[in-house]
Every structure is written in C-alpha cells, then in structure tokens.
Structure 1
Amino acid sequence: MRPTDQQTILITGATDGLGRALAADLAAEGATVLVHGRDDQRGKAALQEIGGAASWYRADLASLAETRALAEAVRADHPRLDALVNNAGIGNDGPRRESADGHELTFQVNYLSGYLLTRLLLPTLVASAPARIVHVSSIGQQAIDFDDVMITREYDGMRAYRQSKLAQMMFTVDLADELAGTGVTANALHPATYMPTKMVTATPLSTLEEGVQATRRLVTDPDLDGVSGRFFNGLQEARAEAQAHDPEARARLRALSDELTTP
C-alpha cells in the first residue's frame, strides 16, 4: 500500500461512532478522507472535527438510487481510490422496517447497499491497485434462510442484524477469490466488543480507540499486503460462521444481490 498520507479513503457511516473516529485518525495521518453520511448538518460538523483533507458525501443507504449517486460522485471526484471502508450500519430491536426499495431495512443498509457501492467502485479500486476493501462486520453472525431472506415471517431484529453481518463476510470471501491477482484485497472484522457507539445499549466493554486501531490496521498496515478473504476479531484472525465458507450459499447470495441491485 501507498503511505497513508498519499491515500484516498472512502468511509461510509463516518458522521459518528467508529466511522467518525477512524476518519479523524486517518486524516490526522495525512490521508484524503471521503466522509459519507446521510445528514448534511452532521456531515458539516464531522468535517469540522476531522479537519485535514476531508470532503463530504451525502447518501441514504436505505435507497439504492442514492447509493448509485454516491458511487458516481466519488468516481467523478477521485480517479484514484486506495481504500473503501464499508462501515455504515444500523441495529434493529424494534419492528420490521423496509427500505425505499422495499427490502428489509437492516439487510439493505448493512449489506446490500455496501454490495452495490463496492461493485460500482471496483473499477476505480482495481485501477488504483494496490487497494483495499474493508467490511466492518461483527462476531455476531447467523446463517441466512434463503427461503425468507427478508424475514417476512416471525421477524426478529437481532436475526436481521446477524444475517446482514454474515452476508458482508460472505461477500468478503467472494471478493477475495474474484480479485486475486489484481492487487485489491478484501477483509472483514469485528472491531471490538461493545464499543461506546449509538448502536450499543449495553455497558461498553471496549474503547472506541480499540475499534479504530483494529480497523485502521486492515486499511493501512503494510504487513497485510496480499492478505485477503479473512475475518478478524479485533487484531486477531478468527473464524466466520460456517455459511461464509459454503460456496453454494455464497453463490445464492451473490445471485440474489445482483438481482436486487440491478436497476
């Protein structure tokens, strides 16, 4: 990888929590940071805090159309992209909700829009190689029921969250195979356990700094050059849920994702 101060890095969900702290950390090291969020006021506040060479991109990932517009804007502004950090995500302990596109909301925001964004930015990443894709996933993963991916029956918010995080990991493994030899790597991680963010209602067990350290490592550490398709729990490599290593399940998810994101 290039030195951090020569990199352009897009971080989704960067107006608060882990994304904002990571953006500030990378900007302080001289990176050009592309800050994504869905609220212009919060975006402006984030840019003021982050400083450095940071710029703002607004898009609601609950809309595939806005996700496409985000990719188009990034491509237009930045012919080189060294890293994409798919960090944006939501939890859901309430009733089932749907996106603007009619998909279960957690699945779309946490996985499907990131899938689309990555697909649209892949040509730029490959042209910029070496480059990295990092998915901020979770150790909490649950196998996908392909007969009811959108959980229309017996909805459970925790199940929705866990399957969206497994979907990210399945995509990570697919990307590693697809991008082998291109100089672009893809990895996923559980940054830290119960960091103090808006998604955590329990007593924090880790600091935000621990999550930033683990995520930044996957973005910039030269020791990880060429490492791809892996899942990390903090700083340690870990084993993802078994379905992530099932080629048939990944093929089903890939076909579904392509179908759902085709205009």
Structure 2
Amino acid sequence: MTGWTADRIPDQRGRVAVVTGANSGLGLATATELARRGARVVLAVRNTAAGDDAARRIGGDVEVRELDLASLDSVREFAARMAVDHPVVDLLVNNAGIELLGPRRTTADGFELQLGTNALGHFALTGLLLDGLGAARAARVVSLSSITHKNAHLDFDDLQFVRGYRGTTAYGRSKLATTVFGLELDRRLRAVGSSIVSALAHPGLTRTNLTPKAWEHRGRVGKVLAMAGLLVTQPVEQGALPQLRAATDPAVRGGDFFGPAGLGETRGRVTNAKLSREAADPAVGKELWAAAEQLTGVRFL
C-alpha cells in the first residue's frame, strides 16, 4: 500500500499533544506515533487505570489525565488543570467517541449520550483549551469524523433526538455535528486571523473496540455481527493515519479533511475525503455553533 504513512510524521519534540480517548483504538495508535516522534502526549481518558496501562505500552514522554467528555464538570476541571501545567498546547486531537446501538441514554448534563460525548464535549474542550492553543506557534485541532456523517441530518428542532430515537441514526448525527464543528471552527479561526489550524479526518471502517461494544445489547446475534465486522475493516494502525496526517503533515491547511481512498472511503491509503453538502454548509455551521454554546455554556470565537 503506497501513500502517506506514519514514517512521514515530522519531529514532534517540544510539542504538547492532547489526545482524547487515547487508551485504546485509534487514540492509542495516534498517541503512540506522536510519542514515538518525541511529543509530550497527554492521554485524556475517562478510565485512568486503562490510561496508565496504555502509557506503559506507549513509553516516551506520556502522562495520563482524567477526562469524561460526558460531563461538562469533568471537561472544565481537565481544562483548568491543563492551563496550569501546560499553558501552551500545540495539538488537540478530538478522537474519543462512543457508539451505541441500544436504548437512548444521556450524559451527566442531560444530553443524548452520543451527541454529548462525541460532539458537545469536544466543543467545550476545544473552547476551554483555546488560550493554550493560541499560545502555540502553529497549533492544530483535529476533529474525528466518520463516513456515517454523509447520510445524517441535524434536526435542530430535536437535536437531543428525543423523538423516534435510533442508536445508529444518533451516531451518524453526532459525527455530522463533529464534522460541522471542525469546519465552522476553521471558518471562525480564519475570520479572526488565528494561526490555529482546524483539520478533520475519518478512519473509514477500522477495527476498534467501539464496534463490538456497540453490538453488546444484541447478545449472541451481536457477537456474530461483531465477528463479521472483522472481515470488512482495516487495522487500527491504518485507520489512524488520516488523523495523524491531519495532525502533523506540514502541508495541511485549515478545513482539510482526510480519509481512506479505497472502496467508498472505507479503507486504504490516505487521501482527501468528501464532505456531505450539509456538513459543508456555513449556515448549518453557524446554527450548530449557537446551539452548542447555549447547551454547554462555553462561548468562544
């Protein structure tokens, strides 16, 4: 397989990188490569025991910090401590995510769980870390999208998906919201002349711990479906390459979006990915931003 590989990641020494959900899957693969290139990597994880285990496996200049994106109190506490210990943040990889196919659940703040974790939690985190990012010479924010965003639609009259809830639809909506956020963040950063770059990536179909967990509620059928998924997905190391490129390639510009090139963007070498029309619509970006500010109480740009 040719194309952009982790071997092309430039020296990351002297840079502080925050990776959410870094104890497993795509986050672990991303944190590992960044640490390997010399970055000081903050593993922002909900389960610090799992984070400690990941840190031992990664080696290098790595630290573990508790962050539960499903709790705005946790997000604020994490950001406050980062401001003291790491007043300059060079890279924020908004990687963490949850995928549920069962009944509707909510965050500590009452948000639909997938929207609250995947999108709103990262919105608040980015805003609260913005001063640290702005203090860096060439900071980046990477938002993790999904190919599922292309078939999703944001219903601003029912953003919390109270009516007719379906887990798969909610996941797609949360990833559309994440994508819209990454693009709107780029627009707003450009408008104020900021040097911070907001880029996006998606992993295609990748073997992570999310898929089997998503099917747990289906019992034996779920186990069969999870096993079948192994046949159509790519290794996590390959799936992490789009976000690693978005995070480290010197040629990346604000609004760039990377994903796999093969089989409908499900696998293969890294290339420029395609956005849905709704994701790229500035009017949608403006409306989502206003909603996110109101819901989280975090206002920036």
TM-score for the superposition, normalised by structure 1: 0.95
1:214 aligns with 2:225: no
How far does residue 158 in structure 1 lie from its aligned partner after superposition? Answer: 0.9
Distance 2:167 2:180 in 1: 20
Equivalent in the alignment of 1:250: 285
Q: How far off its partner does 1:176 sit?
A: 1.0
Deviations 1:58-81 (A, max 9, x none): 121111110111111111111211
Tell me the equivalent position of 2:181: 171
User: Retained in 2: the 8 A contact 1:6–1:32?
Assistant: yes
Gaps of at least 5 residues in structure 2 are 1-8, 212-225, 261-269
Partner residue of 1:238 out of 258, 263, 273: 273
Kindly name which structure, 1 or 2, has the bigger radius of gyration based on alpha carbons: 2
1:156 aligns with 2:166: yes
Identity of aligned residues (%): 38
The separation in 1 between residues aligned to 2:204 and 2:237, in whole angstroms, is: 9
Partner of 2:203: 191
1:14 maps onto 2:22 in alignment: yes
| Distance of 1:232 and 1:47 partners within structure 2 | 27
Contact 2:189 2:196 in 1 (8 A): yes
Paired with 1:192 and 1:253, the residues of 2 have a C-alpha distance of 24
Aligned twin of 2:88: 80
* Contact 1:192–1:210 (CA under 8 A) maintained in structure 2: no
SS of residue matched to 1:179:
helix
Letter in 1 for 2:236: L
Q: After superposition, give the CA deviation of every residue in 1:183-218 in whole Å (9 maximum; x if it has no partner).
A: 11111111232x121112322421111122222111
Aligned length: 260
* 2:254 equivalent among 222, 228, 252: 228
Deviation for aligned residue 1:2:
8.2
TM-score if structure 2 supplies the norm length?
0.83
Contact 1:186 1:229 in 2 (8 A): yes
Supply the AA of the counterpart residue of 1:59. L
Contact 2:70–2:121 (CA<8 Å) still a contact in 1?
yes
Whether the 8 Å contact between 1:143 and 1:241 is mirrored in structure 2 is no
* Contact residue 14 and residue 20 of structure 1 kept, 8 A: yes
Cα distance in 2 for partners of 1:129, 1:243 equals 32
Q: Distance in 2 between matches of 1:33 and 1:157?
A: 32
SS for the counterpart of 1:222 is coil
Moved over 4 A (4+): none
Q: Render the CA deviation track for 1:230-260: whole Å, top value 9, x for unaligned.
A: 3222321122121122222222111110001
Q: 2:5 is matched with which residue?
A: none
**Aligned to 2:52, what secondary structure does the other structure show?**
helix
Q: Secondary structure at the match of 1:223?
A: coil
Work out whether residues 79 and 128 of structure 2, in 8 Å CA contact, stay in contact via their aligned partners in 1.
yes
In structure 1, runs of 5+ residues without a counterpart are none
Note if contact 2:246-2:256 (Cα within 8 Å) is conserved in structure 1. Answer: no
